[in-house]
Every structure is written in structure tokens, then in C-alpha cells.
Structure 1
Amino acid sequence: MSEARELAKAARLASRSLAAAGAATRTKAIELAAHAIDMAREEILAANVHDLERGQASGLSNALMDRLLLTDERIDGIVTGMRKVAAQEDPIGEVVGGHTLDSGIRLTRVRVPLGVVAIVYEARPNVTADAVALTLRSGNACVLRGGSAAHDSCVALVNACRKGIEEVGLPADCATLIQSTDRAETIELMHANGLVDVLIPRGGHSLIRTCVEQATVPVIETGEGNCHTYVHASADQDMALSIIENAKTSRPGVCNACESVLVDVECAESFLPRFLKACTVWGVLVHGDEATCKAAAAAGLTEEVDYVLAGEEDWGREYLALEISCKVVSGIDEAIAHINRYGTGHSECIVARDVQACERFLSDVDAAAVYTNASTRFTDGGMFGLGAEIGISTQRLHVRGPMGAAALTTTKCLLRGEGQVR
């Protein structure tokens, strides 16, 4: 039997103990797992150095190297995030609805764990800790499949978590990690029907497409982020520049970074020169439409250095780098139509003083998170008060947006009768 199936089988057995454990036990398990990571930070950072060295040698992009990097500060963030999850109200057993049937039977709908959650991810070692915390909180066992680039970091993190889980008396197999780097193991995990209840991929386009198209277990699709910022004619232009700078440059390699700016034609003459000059200061290459490139040339920018003419492929492109597309649009109708055509359903923003325009944008843009006058970088489990996230879903079923513990549950109906028959 493959390693993936062996671990999924072990996780299935462990999930029964975890589901039966009380909320206090699950809370303690998360706290002890977080403490174990805190205590093992030297080993974790040493393992991460090995991953970084291999990544550098293999030519990983700057965006992937940033995702791969662990520091003391990032480990502090991981531990803090886990402790926030531990402090959350346990979702298991929560009553989400109920009523008395015509027969007199009392129906109560309550949250229960999904069972075994598989998470496939790439150069993101922090996902290991987030996944363990959230699956423990929701009463699920997890089978993790980290990318080969983050192999040593993921092993060190999951080993620490397993130690904490065991200390509270739960099976260590509540959290398992496939350690083989053979890609066939990922396919085995995708086909582990009866052992895995849901699979969540976190990574680039290729990984997500592979999981969605090849998995026979249910998949929650998480998001590529071709996120837009639309500068409306009524926008406060200083605010718009501040929002775009944050959304593009704070961490350009993440899925909630801004990848495209749409500028209303009514403010293009005044805003474009400011935006384009700011991009040269930020070190951002602009892929512009003809109007944008004309404005760039008039502003004294250098073609092929500061800006290039955009092609059709740029409107749907997730750069994950210090690059951005820019297009002048005729108004809010074209902006919304453009976003709904080229966006990935992740996060979209309008900068505007006009309240009606803001409400129209909120209503008509099809995305998991839609903003007025705020950076798309807020689309994050921690920022949304979830403590951590298992991913950001860009699909509609069964959850959308940042996924916390409650998103990893389903419901069952409890029916209490007094001898009724049908």
C-alpha cells in the first residue's frame, strides 16, 4: 500500500478518537502543538535553511522563496495564530438550526467534523501549522502533502505538532505528513475515496488544476488571485495610491496582492501620471493598455524598463511579482464587466467617494471578498478574525473566502421522538 493510503488509513482511525474527544481536549492539543513548535524553533529554522539552500540552487522564483522562508518573526506568527485558534469557540456540537416537525419529533441540526481532511500545498511551510490547528479545532484528522521545496521545514513542523498532540492523550496520527517526494503519492491521495473526505489544494495554477481535474475525492478549490483595484472617477487619489502600493508591494507573491489597476477615464488624465511615477519608485513594472503607455511616455517613463504594452494575456495574469497591469476603462460598467471576465473570484477593490458607486461594485462584482476603499491584502484568515486559515476558497460550494475551523465541518440532524411511527 502506498504511503498516502497508509497515512490516510491511520488518519481515519485517529479521526474517530478526535471526534469523540471533548472541546477542552482539542483546545489543549492545539496549545501543546503550538508550544512544541515554539520550543523546536531552532530545529525548524535549521531545517528551513536546508530548504532555502535547495530552493536557491534550483532557481526558485523570488515569490516562492519568500513563501518558503521562515524566520523567528514568522514562527512567532505561526505560534500566535495557533493560540488564537485554540482560544476560539469549538464549532463541534454547535446548534445551527432546528424545529419541531408536524409529527412532534424535535429536529436539531448540529455541526460535526468532516472526518479526514487532506491538504496539498507547495512552498508554504506555515500551512503545516495552520492546517493542524484548524483540523484539530474542527475535530478532523489531517493528511498533509507539502511541496518538495519545503520538505524539511514541513517535517520539522509536523513532528513538533505530533508531539504536542500525543501529550494530551490523542493519537499522533491526528496529524500526518506524506514524506515521500514521489508525485505518485499525491495522485494516490487524490484517489483515496473512503479514507479522505475532502482535499484542499493550496498553491499555484498547475497544482490547483491538477487536483480539481484528477481528484476523485471532493475538492475545495482555493484561489489564484488576479485581484483588481478600480480607481473610480470620485476616488481620493492619495488614498488610491496608498491602497495600490500596499496591495502590490507589501508581499507581491501572495494570492491577495493586487495584480491589475483599472482607472476610470474621467480621472485618468490626473491619476495615471501619479500612479505611473509611483510605480517607478516602488520598482513595479507596468503592463499598460495603449492609453496607459501613452501617459507613461508623456510622463517621461522609459519603455521596456518602466512600462510595456500589455497583451490580452496580461488581463488574466497573476504576476506574483513586482509587476502590474493597468487599463483605462470608460466607467464602472466596464470595470465590473472586466473584473467579472478576467478575475479569479478572489478579492476585488473599488476606491471611490461615491457611495452609490461603492454599493454597485459590492453588489455586482463576483468574488469571495469585495472591498471599498481598502487593500485586498486583508483577505486572510487572521485578518478576518479566524486566527488562521486552511485556504481561501474561490468556489461557491460549500464555502467561499478564507476558511477557518467552521468551514471544515458539516452538519447532522438529531431527531428526538416519543414513539412516533410513519
Structure 2
Amino acid sequence: MADYNLIFKKVKSASRKLMAVDETAIQNALSSLVRISLAQIPFILAENAKDLALMDTNDPKYDRLKLTEERIKAICEELTQIKNLPSPLDKIIEEKILPNRLSLKKITVPLGVLGVIYEARPNVTFDVFALALKSGNGLILKGGSDADHSNRAIMSLIHRALEENGLPTEAFQLLPPDRGATKALLEAVDFVDVIIPRGSQGLIDFVRQNSKVPVIETGAGIVHTYFDESADLEKGKAIIFNSKTRRPSVCNSLDCLIIHRDRLTDLPELVEKLLSAGVTIFADQASFPWISNHPLVEKAREEHFGTEFLSLKMSIKTVSNLEEAMDHIAQYSSKHSEAIISENPTNIDLFLKSVDAAAVYANASTAFTDGNQFGLGAEIGISTQKLHARGPMALNELCSYKWVIKGDGQIRE
């Protein structure tokens, strides 16, 4: 049995060395990783193919697991963006001189050691490493068995890049994909500063219920878009189609279309392209008759609301006004991303102010909820909670702060 505490102790010790690493060395290591990864695309794809061969192609996780040459090149572009972002460390948040002439500064520092537990998402291995290195944090990764070949291949390239630049490989470790490793990580209170789960609601719930280490939840995305009485039909068709079909397996994809009752006459045109793309629609009692002649349309049941489909499926809820739409969102939302399509400024303002979610949109696709799209380089996850961080978590969210006090012999009476 692996001595996980020994691994954790090495990570914690090595992570302290990162504070002495200058920004140039970090940039060089990320450049090395990009160069090595592009050169090793055939190796990454071959290892990823081993994982894909063991997964049902109809599994919603299959698309998340799959790497392609184009996706690896896109990942490398993100790594380059992260490399070029300013360091989040040693920023002065606040400074002042007290009446007793003590000098106080509040400055940003790394969280310490991050523990990230994730499922079939090998891109996370790249993204989280880059963000951790750039923010001076040590990292313990615990991937799922579904992506083990892919994760180990990527980690080998990461260690090569670190070694090329004289940086401590011990600060960045990948655990084996077994339950014992998960249990050890969740109990590593002396070595790990925060646990960040990325995956299904089941994974997130398990981590929250069993972790002795503080947890930042990167929650599941149960996403709604409300098509208001005043909504522009052409905007609505484009936004809804993009939100649902761009990448249906990701957390920012549309799960429930809420439509104003007076716009049901537009529903057939609104969903025509969705149905052509193979989207199964679960329509409520009011909306079903308008599109019931299509074989992909079924009557909605209660379980179709509040569900993160992660596939080409979605539900439709009919409401009589904005208040009903917001009530439905409040009942079923995971507080990830919510949108309104409307030409009514009053309704837009009320929706944006009242809806409780990490990201709220007016007349735009929820597919933009992404660290890279927000100009953050990448993300370690999208936090749906309110303590410490909310929304896409990137470099700044991987920092805490400390007070630095300088004096000249002052003592307190």
C-alpha cells in the first residue's frame, strides 16, 4: 500500500521552494511544456486512445475524455496565455502607516498545496498544473480511472518541462486512480490546504461530505435560459442553439429553456435547428402541443427539471411572466450560469440583479462561462459557492493574502 502521507509531505516541502522561483523560470517551464506537448501529440493521443477504448461512446463523459490534435493545440494556446499573464503574487491589496509608525501591507500569497479531484477530463491535468505553477502552489492531482493513461502521459511531460528548468517535480504529483488515494487526500489536513473537486454532482457531494480539508466546490451546471415576452427570435435561435449544442457535455451547456407563454407560437421555429441536430426535448404540458409532431419531443416529467443532462437533451418550462421564470430558476438552479433573452431593459436589469448564480447573462450564450473566455487564461473550475471564490477560478482565486508588518522597535503597552 502506498504511503500517501509521505507523498503529501514531499509536495508540501517542495511547494515552499516555489516561493523562491522567479517569474522567468515559471514562464520558461510553461514554454517548455508547450513545446514538449506539441512534439508529443502522437504519444498523448495514443495514451488517450487506451482510455477511450474502455468507455462507451454514448457515455456523456466520452466527449470530455476525448483528446484530438486540435484540442491539444488549443490547450497549448491556453498554456501560453497563462504564461503571459501577470503574476498574481506579491500584489499589494492594502497598505497603511499606523499612528505608532508601524508599516502594514496586505499582500497576495499562494494558498499552499492544492488537492484536485477530477473525473474523465485530461485537459484538467494541463490547466490545473499551469495555474498552480503560475500562482506558486503545490499540487496533488487525483484523476479518475477513466482517464488514467491520459493523465499519466500528460504528467510525464509536465515533469520533463520542470526538470528542464530546474524546478521541483516533487511539488506536482498525480496519485493513482483508486479509492484509497481519494480517502488519503481528503484526510490530509497536515499537508493540503484546499480540496477542489471537478466533476459530477455525485463527486462533488462525496468530497464535501467526506473531506476533512476545506473544500471549494466547482459545482455542476444546471443551466437555464429564459426567452422573454419581448425576446428577439433570431437572437434567441442562435443563442439557444449555441448554448445547447456547442459542447453538450460541459457544465455551461443549456439544460432548460424557459419560455414566456405568449411566445409559444415561436417555439417550433425556436427549436427547429435543435431538433435537426438531434436534441431530445422534454416539453412541459403547455409547450408540448406546439412541437409534439417531432419524434425527438417527449412529455416532460418532474425529473427532467433540475437535471444536468451533459448530452443532447434539454427540457422546456412555460411561464407567464419574469417572476415565474426566476422562481423556477431559484428552485432548480445549481447557481452556475443563467441567462435571459429579452429586449425589455427593465426585465433584463431585474433578472441580472435578482438571479443568484455565479454568472448571469443577458442576450448571450452561457457557453462563455469559462476561464479562458473570461480572459483568465484557463480555470481550475467554476465555483458555485460564495466563500473565497465564485465563478471561473483562475490565478487570482488560487491566492490568499497575509499581513506584512515592519517596525522600528515598537512594543504594545
TM-score range, shorter chain: over 0.9
Deviation string for 1:348-397 (max 9, x for gaps)? Answer: 11001111111111100000000000000000011000111111111111
Name the aligned partner's letter for residue 65 of structure 2: L
- 1:18-29 to 2 correspondences below 5 Å: 18-29=18-29
Does the 8 Å contact 1:368/1:401 carry over to 2? yes
Instruction: Kindly report the root-mean-square deviation, in angstroms, between the aligned alpha carbons of the 2 structures.
Output: 1.3
Tell me if 1:250 matches 2:223: no
After TM superposition, the structure 1 = structure 2 runs for residues 308-347 of structure 1, keeping only pairs within 5 Å, are 308-347=298-337
Instruction: Report the counterpart of residue 198 of structure 1 in structure 2.
Output: 194
| Partner residue in 1 for 2:48 | 48
What's 2:373 paired with? 383
Superposition deviation, residue 60 in structure 1? 5.7
Task: Look up the match of 1:128.
Answer: 125
2:149 maps to amino acid? D
How far apart in 1 are the matches of 2:200 and 2:321? 32
The answer to whether 1:16 aligns with 2:16 is: yes
The separation in 2 between residues aligned to 1:198 and 1:407, in whole angstroms, is 12
Aligned position for 1:392: 382
> For residues 200-244 of structure 1, what are the alpha-carbon distances to aligned partners after superposition, in whole Å with 9 as ceiling and x for unaligned?
111111111110110000111012111001001110011111101
Q: CA deviation at 1:3?
A: 4.7
Structure 2 letter corresponding to 1:37: S
Among 257, 261, 272, the alignment partner of 1:265 is 261
Pairing of 1:54-93 with structure 2 (within 5 A): 54-55=54-55, 59=56, 61-93=58-90
Residue 147 (structure 2) pairs with residue 157 (structure 1): no
TM-score, scaled relative to structure 2 = 0.97
2:283 is the counterpart of 1:293: no
2:215 is aligned, of 208, 212, 219, to 219
TM-score (norm 1): 0.95
Q: Which stretch of the first structure deviates more once superposed, 2-11 or 109-118?
A: 2-11
Please list, as runs of the form range in 1=range in 2, the aligned pairs for 1:274-285 lying within 5 A after superposition. 274-285=269-280
Count of matched residue positions in the alignment of Structure 1 and Structure 2? 412
Deviation at 1:35, TM superposition (A): 2.1
Inter-partner Cα distance in structure 2 for 1:41 and 1:276: 38
For residue 29 of structure 1, report the CA deviation from its aligned partner.
1.9
User: How many Å separate the matches in 1 of 2:3 and 2:30?
Assistant: 25
Residue in structure 2 matched with residue 350 of structure 1 by the alignment: 340
Partner of 1:106: 103
Query: Bigger shift: 229-238 or 59-68?
Result: 59-68
Residues in 2 aligned to 1:88 and 1:136: alpha-carbon distance in whole angstroms: 12
> Does structure 2 conserve the Cα–Cα contact (< 8 Å) formed by 1:135 and 1:142?
yes
Matched, 1:95 2:92: yes
**8 Å CA contact 2:340, 2:361 repeated in 1:** yes
Supply the distance in 2 between the matched residues of 1:356 and 1:321 (Cα, whole angstroms).
34
Q: Assess if the C-alpha contact under 8 Å between 1:3 and 1:185 holds in 2.
A: no
Contact 2:125–2:141 (8 Å) recurs in 1: yes
SS at match of 2:316: strand
1:418 aligns with 2:408: yes
Structure 1 unmatched runs, 5+: none
Equivalent position SS for 2:60: helix
**Which whole-Å deviations, capped at 9, do the CAs of 1:320-356 have from their partners, x for residues lacking one?**
1111110111111111111111000000110011111
CA distance in 2, matches of 1:141, 1:51: 27
The answer to whether the Cα contact below 8 Å between 2:233 and 2:270 also exists between their aligned partners in 1 is no
How far is the alpha carbon of 1:173 from its aligned partner? 1.5
1:21 corresponds to which letter in structure 2?
Answer: V
In structure 2, C-alpha distance between the alignment counterparts of 1:314 and 1:184, rounded to whole Å: 35
Q: Give the % identical residues.
A: 40
The DSSP-based 3-state class of the residue aligned with 1:251 is coil
